[in-house]
Amino acid sequence: MSTASDRIDSIANHLTITGAAKAPRSPDDVVIVAAYRTPLCKAGKGAFKETHPEYLLSVALKSIREKTGIDPALVQDIQVGNVCMPGAGVTTSRMAALYAGYPESVALAAVNRQCSSGLATCANIASAIKAGYIDVGIGSGVESMSMYYSPTPQMDIDQEILAYGPSAEVLTPMGITSENVAREFGISRDEQDKFALRSHTLAAKAQKEGLFDEEIIPVTLRNGTVVSRDDGIRPTTAEGLAKLKPAFSKDGSTTAGNASQVTDGAAAVLLMRRSIAEMLGLPVLARWLGYTAVGVPARIMGIGPEKAIPQVLRQVGLKTDDIDIYEINEAFASQCVYVQQKLGIPIDKINPKGGSISYGHPMGATGSRQIATLLPELRRQKKRFGIVSMCVGIGQGVAAVIENEVL
């Protein structure tokens, strides 16, 4: 006899399969025309430590306008991901859009889906285009963790809700969720450090070879200094990682070397209907195929991509092996190792230029940043399908599938 859970899964599978990946190109396709990011800089220590997030966002938004030559009045909606600022930074984000040259006719919203906020904005814009509400929009994100980050925000919570187990677990510190994943699924310190070393090594190599140059927009600071490189990337050795002490628990395995960096940065992605891109003579870089967000237990939130990736693959009619590059946010090495092992993803398909462990995780911007990182790599490798995915601090997993059209 089937359980309620079985029936829900069956219905969900039936309803979400669209076969979008195998559908022929259509004038109504949602396509990506441009994706850029600022450099990522270490919070409190790096080049952006005194730079306001609205200025970083304005640079990212301005780059879209200037690089594509699009009339900014054609943009109908801008959505901005942000986690740390009050109100998700909606007021200053609106100010940034106007400062970046977008007219008052362009609408704007701020989105906080925690670490997936920058991807959620792109999904929201894609959905609005697909539904026929708009034709052109920008999904973006920004974070100044120098100015606004607080690992333990003070909240006054209803005591009865706080006493309810699953609700209380939403407040589990992120470092402890990493330790929970490592402990519950047997992810060793050695496995975590090996994954982290790979990230650090790949990022340093990519930076040296100029592989980030295409996606990065230099930022000219108010004092005239030009920042054009990620400043969190540093030489790392296995011996150095092994010497680091656990950061969140005395007997833990999560360290400063195998966890994501606290970071400042911004990114923006221009999406539109294919017919509009063709009419404007803009190059289509990629097709947006699908997106999903799922819930998982907050205390082991790191498993989120393992649940979201299979669901979005079912949605678009692809299998794990069909994906050429996985951009999986490196919140912690523990959860990345778990996802890689559980889904059987070849390690060389995951974050070929490193990830948040090596160059940072500006929470509200990361999802948009991952798209800006993924697209040039798909083109460089002449590959077709990519996934952007991440775990989410309140207990979720998110994933999107993108098809490269510049082979």
> In angstroms, what CA-CA distances link 214 with 207, 226, 330, 350?
11, 16, 22, 20
Provide the pairing of β-strand 325-328 with 41-42: unpaired
Nearest to 230 by CA among 248, 216, 243, 250: 216
Q: Are 211 and 204 in contact (CB under 8 A)?
A: no
- The yes-or-no answer on residue 391 being catalytic is yes
Q: Active site residue: 41, 84, 115, 122, which one?
A: 115
- The yes-or-no answer on residue 361 being catalytic is yes
Q: Is 307 left (phi over 0), alpha (psi -120 to 50) or beta?
A: alpha
- The yes-or-no answer on residue 336 being catalytic is no
Nearest to 80 by CA among 331, 221, 351, 98: 98
DSSP H helices in 209-347: 238-243, 274-280, 304-316, 333-343
The number of angstroms, rounded, from the C-alpha of 331 to the middle of its chain's C-alpha atoms is 10
Tell me the two tokens of residue 242: 């092994």
Q: Which residues pair with 37 in a beta bridge?
A: 216, 267
Q: Active site residue: 41, 84, 336, 391, which one?
A: 391
Q: Which residues are catalytically annotated?
A: 115, 361, 391
